[in-house]
Amino acid sequence: MTNAGSNRSLRTSGASEANSEKNVVFLRRSDEDGTTKNLRLTFDCYSKTIID
């Protein structure tokens, strides 16, 4: 596995969960050699989004 990152793409796989205090985001990473890895990111969110 190289760490060049020039041809590496990061796409969201569309699967996401929203709990009352946590957001869970699933990412699928594709390396330049064709291998894909699924990443699971968990965010503890206590802030609110303000839209004006």
Are residues 12 and 25 in contact, defined by beta-carbon separation less than 8 angstroms? yes
Greater pLDDT, 7 or 52: 52
Greater pLDDT, 9 or 50: 50
Are residues 29 and 39 in contact, defined by beta-carbon separation less than 8 angstroms? yes
- pLDDT bin (cut points 50, 70, 90) of residue 40 is confident
- pLDDT bin (cut points 50, 70, 90) of residue 13 is very low
Cα separations in angstroms, 46 against 21, 24, 31, 39, 52: 6, 14, 33, 22, 19
Residue written as tokens 């699924």? Answer: 38
The CA distance from 8 to 35, in Å, is 10
